[in-house]
Each structure stands twice: as C-alpha cells, then as structure tokens.
Amino acid sequence: MRANGIWHPRLAHLIAAAGHTDLIVIADAGLPIPAGVETIDLVWAQGEPRFLPVLRAVLAELVVERAVTEKETSDSELLSGLATALQGLETDVVGHTEFKQITARAKVIVRTGETTPYANIILQAGVPY
C-alpha cells in the first residue's frame, strides 16, 4: 500500500503509464463519455468526490504541460480553484462542444461526483525534463 498520494489502483497505474501528450480528463458527473475511452468512475454519491480535490491529487502526481478548460465555466468557487491549481500552467479555454470532441482522444476520463456545471478539465501529460 502506498503511504500517500493516489490510492486508487487503476488511476495510479494510468498516471504512472502516461506518455508525453497523453490526455487525462477529470470530469463532473454529467460529462458524456465517448465510446472506447476508458472511464474511472470515482463517484459514490451526488457531489462526492468533488472535482477540485481530485484535480489537485492528479496534478500532484502527473507532469502536465498544458490544460484545457471550458469557456462556459462560470461558478466563482470553481474558477478560483482552477486558477490556483493551474497557476503557471499553459491553459486553453474552448467551448463545451469542442471540449467534448477533444475528450474522444483521451487515454482516460476520471468521473467525479461533482454537480457544478462545466467542472471538467483536460490535462496533457508532459515530461519531467
């Protein structure tokens, strides 16, 4: 057993196996999952787990070179949390339709129980050098 970090076995494996430019999506409970994209469904009740803690846990273990968020995101708490979590990281902002199209290329979509609209992000894996 790990002493800290992500304990979910499949999620820990996919983060460790991520290659340069692989896409990992952290999603709210309602984001459609494209056919053929692996899903790790963390949701166990409405609102649980929340999006931001899952995002912070993944960011602590994954080298990320860029992120993609949605222009429709308007919740002030979510926007503030994203700004803090993504500080210094190149971030693109796209419309929801384009965002959903990009998710078709994801290695995995991690579904949270978040019910805040547009609480979704695409993380592009980088390299540690």
Q: What is the pLDDT of residues 1-50, one digit of tens each?
A: 889 999 999 999 999 999 999 999 999 999 999 999 999 999 999 999 99
Q: In what order do the strands lie in the sheet with 108-111?
A: 38-41, 108-111, 23-27, 121-125, 64-70, 91-94
pLDDT over 90 (residue 120): yes
Catalytic residue flag (residue 20): yes
- Cβ–Cβ under 8 Å, residues 27 and 118: no
Q: Per-residue pLDDT averaged across 87-100, rounded?
A: 97
The residue extents of the domains of the chain are 20-125
d(Cα 38, Cα 107) in Å, to the nearest integer? 7
Q: pTM of this prediction?
A: 0.96
Question: What DSSP line would sit under 15-36, residue for residue?
Answer: HHHPPTT-EEEEE-TTPPPPTT
In CATH terms, the fold of domain 20-125 is RbsD-like fold (3.40.1650)
d(Cα 82, Cα 59) in Å, to the nearest integer? 11
According to the model, what pLDDT value does residue 119 have?
98
According to the model, what pLDDT value does residue 76 have?
97
According to the model, what pLDDT value does residue 1 have?
80
Q: What pairs with residue 122 in β-bridges?
A: 25, 68
Rg, the chain, Cα only: 13
**Catalytic residue of the set 8, 13, 20, 96:** 20
Q: Which two tokens stand for residue 34?
A: 């494209």
